[in-house]
Amino acid sequence: MDDNKNRRFTRRDVFTASAGAAAVIGAAGLPVLATATPAFATDQRHGGGLRAEPLIPSRNRGIILYSVRDRIGAAPDNTGVPYGFERVLARLAEIGYKEIEFAGYTQNTAILGRQITPKEIRKILDDNGLVANGTHAQINPATFDQQMDIALQLGMKNIGTGSDPTSSAYKSDWDAAADTWNELGRRARSRGLRLYTHNHDIAYSFLLDSGPLDANGKPTRSSGVRRLEYFIDKTDPRLVFFEMDIFWAYVARFKHQTYVDRWGRQRTDLFDPILTVTPRSTRFPLFHAKDGDRNPAVPNGHDMVPLGDGDINFQQFFQTIGEQDFHHANWEQDTAPGGSTNPGQSLAFAASSYTNMSELTIYRR
């Protein structure tokens, strides 16, 4: 199991982890963790011996197709906007994306007169120099082998789901989910795959695991442990992996700040996505690079926007967690489709988001 699981990771550790990069940037008179276009050229005559490198390597920049689901599922039309797997994937490759995370394997049957097959999708990927890096499929023991068959046919190294392992607030249910996922992870590993789960904000709310019991014998208060963090420590790090949705993690920071302890006292604990990833960075091969603009007037505390249009500090996030070659960033925006009034919106957002992702930069000597 993870040797670091019992170690408390603090903000001091975060600052120590990024101190080298901060010192290099600061010595050049540049703002630390800036998110804008690099402030100086890579030519060392002008950079004082520094060089600029992409924070997210180009080969690791991806997109989950849920962001452009309107165009994947569109019937042939006269809008001039790509539709279906063949045309949409070609456009995404043209934009610069190298990796694709799937959110289903179907398109409008009017395109081929029948449904497309995984084998045909794989050819489209190969023809465009694209790699499948994961999928949001239904993960359950009964159909897991069939899902792995499709994943391997598409060339994936990761197989996952967009749902939490359980929606329960109780430790016993998370214990049961951990047992199931350890077994499924073992089956995935035997076939060369990594099994992963993707979070929404509720996954980082607090377990009900202490205090008085209710009429059903369930605990009514919390020790302050968060659901998914408990699950991370209960699962085998060799078998179960995670895809952090960065937007929903920051929503969790906004929404899930307080709990009632076993003595009935209200406690405050701010969730920090960076501190969840950093001590176990290689448990997170994938991320959803989803941006949000702070808006305390809405229930989630943020409005979902194209990457680079919000105020989530992706520069700080990816620089601090390290392991740049290991981590893969998939752009997602649930609200990207523009409907019939703006059918090109999701692909336009895909283009601007890719540009902003590619401009995240790390400076080295």
b/e code 107-131 from CB counts within 10 Å (16+ = b): bbeebeeeebebeebbebbeebebb
What tokens does 319 get?
């620089």
| Class of the CATH domain delimited by 11-364 | alpha beta
Q: What is the pLDDT of residue 70?
A: 98
pLDDT 10s per residue in the chain (365 long)? 444 444 444 433 433 444 444 443 344 333 333 344 443 344 545 567 788 999 999 999 999 999 999 999 999 999 999 999 999 999 999 999 999 999 999 999 999 999 999 999 999 999 999 999 999 999 999 999 999 999 999 999 999 999 999 999 999 999 999 999 999 999 999 999 999 999 999 999 999 999 999 999 999 999 999 999 999 999 999 999 999 999 999 999 999 999 999 999 999 999 999 999 999 999 999 999 999 999 999 999 999 999 999 999 999 999 999 999 999 999 999 999 999 999 999 999 999 999 999 999 998 88
Q: What is the CA radius of gyration of the chain?
A: 22
Residue 101 has a pLDDT of 98
Place of tokens 């120099």: 129
Q: CA 210 → CA 139, 169, 214, 289, distances in Å?
A: 30, 12, 11, 35
- Per-residue model confidence (pLDDT) at position 5: 40
> What does DSSP say about strands 131-135 and 219-221: parallel, antiparallel, or unpaired?
unpaired
**pLDDT of res. 46:** 59
Confidence (pTM):
0.87
Contact 97, 60 (CB under 8 A): no
In this predicted structure, what is the pLDDT of residue 92? 98
pLDDT of amino acid 24: 39
54 phi, psi to nearest 5 deg: -60, 135
Say what the pLDDT of residue 197 is: 98
Q: What is the pLDDT of residue 50?
A: 87
Q: What is the pLDDT of residue 365?
A: 81
Q: What is the pLDDT of residue 39?
A: 38
Domain boundaries, the chain: 11-364
